[in-house]
Amino acid sequence: MKNSALQQTRAYVYDNKQFIEGNISEHLLNNLYSNDIVLFEYLTDEEIEECYQRSGITKSSKQFEAEVEFFIIKNFNFNIQEFEY
């Protein structure tokens, strides 16, 4: 995962806070599940390449998705009204 993933995600939440209702992690996870490209925003170039080298859904891409899910829940499992940038 990118070293800057936390800062990038915090900036995204700040820029889009008027569109986020309720729990931030739920919003971020919905984005993750509805758009395959969102996963790559969290990954390093090497991790993206590993996902692309294999065709279709792979164990590694599912593993990366699980890591991003954990990251989102760990860092953003609270209400948007509690968010401070």
- Return the pLDDT at 31: 95
CA atoms of 4 and 60, how far apart (whole Å): 21
- Return the pLDDT at 6: 96
Residue 64: burial class (beta carbons within 10 Å; 0-12, 13-18, 19+): buried
- Return the pLDDT at 54: 57
Query: Could you tell me which residue, 42 or 62, shows the higher pLDDT?
Result: 42
Q: What percent of the chain has pLDDT over 90?
A: 67
Q: Domains of the chain: which residue ranges?
A: 5-82
- Return the pLDDT at 60: 76
End-to-end CA, the chain: 21
Q: Distance from CA of residue 21 to its chain's centroid?
A: 17
